[in-house]
Structure 1
Amino acid sequence: MFMTRPVEELEKGKWPSYVTEWKKAGYTGLVEIYNKALEDKRTHFKHGGMVGYPGYDAGVIGRLSDMPEVLGSSHIFRIIEPAGWFYKTESLRKVVDVWTKYGSGLLNFHGATGNLQLVGVETENIEPAFEALAKLHYDFGGSGGDVRTLAACGGPAICEYSNIDTLDLYQVLTMRFIEDIHRPRFPYKWKIKIPGCPNDCVAATARSDFAVIGNFRDAIKIDQDILKEYPEEKILKVVNKCPTSCMSYENGKLDIDMGNCTRCMYCINEFPKALRPGDDKGATILIGARARGRIGAFLGWTLIPFIKVEAPYTRLIEIIVGIQDWWDEIGNPKERVGEAI
């Protein structure tokens, strides 16, 4: 038995509370229905059915409640984010104004796929809300059995390790597959993620059906003189922790057996002044990762160890379309491409 309302328990302590943020937004209906769910130990939301904007078959996650007297519906918009999540504050303020007018005022930066998620809108406000967002040049992202909204790291705009132009590739692939983002036609979801280097800041290795990971295939560049500025104890520690034991350090000189190096970036991250990625840049393609599913979670498999990734990306697009066509033909409903493989 709760001494106070369950939602009030979630506002206690020193940590930020999402319940408090809901209250700040004035979204009292969600607070009340969530409190009831905690008391009853079951959700009071049910599937929202087919809701959306005319001409689109994706982008709105439907949620209806079984307590319409408290909150009738609380649908979610999935909006395509700019490449690398670079927003202008002026644009974001206009988004907030739109969502405060038509929705709950709650924004989620960002969904697991990368979308800007606008949480909580009544069914009758879906059309005017989207029309206002469209005037700001925002568009619906993916949901259901379609190409989901792509995700790319900030790449060359902010990172010295980027091996490909993640921002340009994101834009080109988004526009190439925009019809497949808006109109589901596949057995299940298809996620494309684009990190600029093997540090994989967008979790492509674990969470994308098709990962384009910026990489290099020549040798790591080593500045032996600058390396000497690092403590020898640290150098030996990094050498001993190399995942493939491809490094050695003798007589003040670091050697790397590139035939056994997996380009994991560990040594480069530890010695950013002395070690740099090579000059022969491109990408490694992984296929089939997913975080959960019928047969469990698994990481992506290496499909292409190295491929040049340069505009207009014709070969890369041909590979994506070819795999999609095969999967579309043999895949079962709710079966990701990794499970089909």
Structure 2
Amino acid sequence: MAKHETPFLDQLESGPWPSFVSDLKQQAEVRAKNEKGVEFQIPQDCVDDLLGIVELSYKHGRTHWKHGGIVGVFGYGGGVIGRYCDQPQAFPGVEHFHTMRVNQPAGKYYTTDYLRKLTDLWDFRGSGVTNMHGATGDIILLGTTTPQLEEVFWTLTHDYNQDLGGSGSNLRTPADCLGQSRCEYACYDTNALVHFLTNEYQDELHRPAFPYKFKFKLDGCPNCCVASIARSDMSFIGTWKDDIRIDQDAVNKYVENDAAYPANAGAHKGGDWGPFDIEKEVIALCPTGCMKFENKKLAIDNANCTRCMHCINVMPKALKIGKETGCSILCGAKAPILDGAQMGSLLVPFIEVNPDNDYEAITEVIENIWDWWMEEGKNRERLGELIMRQGFQKLLEVTGIEAMPQHVQYPRTNPYIFWKEDEVTGGWERDVEEYRKHHQR
């Protein structure tokens, strides 16, 4: 029997979608019955009290969680998010209810044995409530008390060979897609690179020293399954330099609606779309109009291709990514904090992803940006906001990257040209002197 009445939360279960409320109620019931006989290290009714305080927040229209100071594990400045309830008398089970972020493995690959050990640990020393995974990517362990933090940390690091993730003004846990381990579209090994970045920048990950948070997210191809272009301060998106590979016979199999070549991953079979129409569903939808299909032959003007992936997604047996692969680096995406939401801006159109030299070209870009941001960034100013404040040209200067046409989002809408002093010093003086000499003659 639930301790608290939750009419507001009950409404959230009435919609067509799965609700977190149902999950919490189920977990509260599991803890109440405790059929496994677990010796809980935090209050048995903590999830019941969690439902109660969330209900109260809905009723009052404000949160009842407060910031009660910094809490963490010895030697780390991040990885634990302190949560304290401002109604401890009414809800003692969540008087303190801290969140722990655990560094997810590259590609989020787990063994069932590991998952069982992790959930058993959290049932024992926490609430048993997890989020697989948080928006940053971490395994989220929701709800424990201060004395249990070091106990959980010891077990994770010593017994499970697992580390905490990032929180606070530091490097957040790098996240990636499955990459070449599962996906034919992947242009580089995202799992290898995210593993390298996680190990290379341990100090930045665990000991906050940045103006604000910094996120790496890695997409193996322009399909951007991790949405890195919208959610990371530095986004690595797989791409290629050469031409899209075309199998003309397979193209015609799609056009002929061959059953062995279902377009759009077979979506036509599940919907009333009618037969596949290459002109309507591929050629007309190319954002730059760089494709044409004539005399049973598909032609692509690769110089104008923007790597949107649409044609490859529709006809994967006929079109494949190029062979000269690498990634693009974009900077500055974030959610609305100070200056509103921003998408990433293209900084490096193409860079080779080379593990043989410890990704030297990539780490050079990263560290140049960090040096600038740590020197010039204001408190709680994300990289994208610094770029807006000082200009993209400054970003090019600090990274030593020359301006390219790919850096231009759209042509300027005013006629003014601004020159730096060192670019014109002496030049205009010589022009004035020549002008005077000419008129004196």
TM-score by length of 1: 0.96
How far off is 1:296 after superposition?
A: 1.0
Distance 1:138 1:261 in 2: 42
Q: Does 1:330 align with 2:376?
A: yes
Distance 1:4 1:307 in 2: 54
Distance 1:25 1:19 in 2: 10
Distance 2:249 2:10 in 1: 59
The equivalent position to 1:339 in structure 2, one of 378, 385, 395, is 385
Aligned residue runs from structure 1 range 15-34, under 5 A? 15-26=17-28, 27-34=47-54
Distance 1:7 1:284 in 2: 44
How far off is 1:125 after superposition?
A: 1.4
Alignment-derived partner of residue 118 in structure 1: 141
Alignment-derived partner of residue 365 in structure 2: 319
> Alignment partner of 2:330: what SS?
strand
Alignment-derived partner of residue 235 in structure 2: 211
The equivalent position to 2:103 in structure 1, one of 62, 80, 91, is 80
> Alignment partner of 1:121: what SS?
coil
Give 1 or 2: higher helix fraction: 2
> Alignment partner of 1:104: what SS?
coil
How far off is 1:13 after superposition?
A: 4.7
> Alignment partner of 1:198: what SS?
coil
Alignment-derived partner of residue 182 in structure 2: 158
Gaps of 5+ in 2: 29-46, 257-275, 388-441
Structure possessing the higher radius of gyration over alpha carbons: 2
Alignment-derived partner of residue 108 in structure 1: 131
User: Would you say how many aligned residue pairs link Structure 1 and Structure 2?
Assistant: 339
> Alignment partner of 1:143: what SS?
coil
Greater shift in the superposed pair: 118-127 or 84-93: 118-127
Alignment-derived partner of residue 202 in structure 1: 226
The equivalent position to 1:236 in structure 2, one of 273, 279, 287, is 279
Alignment-derived partner of residue 52 in structure 1: 72
Distance 1:15 1:339 in 2: 36
Contact preservation (8 Å) 1:236, 1:249: yes
> Alignment partner of 1:91: what SS?
helix
How far off is 1:287 after superposition?
A: 0.8
> Alignment partner of 1:285: what SS?
strand
Gaps of 5+ in 1: none
Sort the Cα spacing of 1:149 and 1:4 in 2 relative to 1 into closer, same or farther, 3 A.
Answer: closer
> Alignment partner of 2:253: what SS?
coil
Greater shift in the superposed pair: 185-194 or 20-29: 20-29
Alignment-derived partner of residue 280 in structure 1: 324
Alignment-derived partner of residue 118 in structure 2: 95
How far off is 1:324 after superposition?
A: 0.5
Q: Does 1:62 align with 2:79?
A: no
How far off is 1:48 after superposition?
A: 3.6
> Alignment partner of 1:194: what SS?
strand
Sort the Cα spacing of 1:228 and 1:294 in 2 relative to 1 into closer, same or farther, 3 A.
Answer: same
Contact preservation (8 Å) 1:284, 1:306: yes
Alignment-derived partner of residue 7 in structure 2: 5
Sort the Cα spacing of 1:132 and 1:254 in 2 relative to 1 into closer, same or farther, 3 A.
Answer: same
TM-score by length of 2: 0.75
Contact preservation (8 Å) 2:6, 2:55: no
Give 1 or 2: higher strand fraction: 1
Distance 1:104 1:25 in 2: 9
Contact preservation (8 Å) 1:83, 1:171: yes
Q: Does 1:144 align with 2:163?
A: no
Distance 2:16 2:213 in 1: 38
> Alignment partner of 1:268: what SS?
helix
- Over the matched positions of the two proteins, sequence identity in percent amounts to 47
Alignment-derived partner of residue 41 in structure 1: 61
Alignment-derived partner of residue 307 in structure 1: 351
How far off is 1:4 after superposition?
A: 6.7
Contact preservation (8 Å) 1:48, 1:61: no
Contact preservation (8 Å) 2:211, 2:381: yes
Q: Does 1:192 align with 2:216?
A: yes
Distance 2:341 2:10 in 1: 35
